[in-house]
């Protein structure tokens, strides 16, 4: 049986030591937050970090790993960024702020996107502003 990328990623997720709080405050873990966390893990989790011992996946097989959201905006946990997206094919990152302003940044490397996602709940102050604005990445306000 050939393992697909999704099978491998699911195996990786099963291998991760995730501990949930034992208190009755589980209601704070909304479906949206869990979905965002899982989506972020799929975006930044390297395939080779799995401890899967499956012999069905050969070391010589190259599994293309896609970074980003294909340009689609996803909710961001932040105090000033509402949503963001990244298109790996064009290296365009889109950021929508809480005030509704929408910006596109051009020539953004994939590692900047993964750092931005990983920096939640402060992605703009920790990654966006220093690497996009101070790094002089070309941008345009589109909304």
DSSP E strands: which ranges in 76-124?
A: 81-87, 92-97, 102-106
Q: In this predicted structure, what is the pLDDT of residue 65? A: 75
Whether this model's pTM surpasses 0.75: no
* Listed residue (91, 86, 89) closest to 64, CA to CA: 89
Per the model's pLDDT, the better-predicted residue between 93 and 16 turns out to be: 93
User: For residues 83 and 39, which has the higher predicted lDDT (pLDDT)?
Assistant: 83
Number of Cβ within a 10 Å radius of residue 94: 20
User: Which residues lie across from 83 on neighbouring strands?
Assistant: 75, 96
Residue 27's pLDDT band, with cuts at 50, 70 and 90, is: very low
Query: Which pLDDT tens digit goes with each residue over 64-118?
Result: 677 899 999 999 999 999 999 999 999 999 999 999 999 999 999 999 999 999 9
Mean pLDDT, all residues of the chain: 75
Domain boundaries, the chain: 1-65, 74-141
């Amino acid at each position: 049986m050939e393992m697909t990328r999704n099978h491998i990623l699911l195996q990786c997720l099963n291998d991760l030591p995730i501990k949930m709080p034992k208190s009755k405050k589980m209601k704070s873990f909304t479906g949206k937050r869990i979905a965002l966390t899982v989506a972020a893990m799929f975006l930044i989790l390297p395939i080779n970090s799995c401890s899967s011992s499956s012999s069905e996946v050969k070391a010589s097989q190259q599994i293309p790993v896609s970074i980003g959201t294909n340009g689609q905006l996803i909710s961001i946990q932040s105090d000033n960024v509402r949503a963001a997206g990244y298109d790996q094919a064009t290296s365009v990152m889109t950021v929508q702020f809480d005030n509704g302003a929408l910006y596109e940044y051009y020539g953004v490397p994939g590692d900047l996107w993964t750092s931005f996602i990983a920096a939640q709940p402060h992605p703009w102050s920790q990654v966006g502003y220093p690497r996009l604005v101070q790094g002089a990445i070309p941008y345009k306000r589109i909304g």
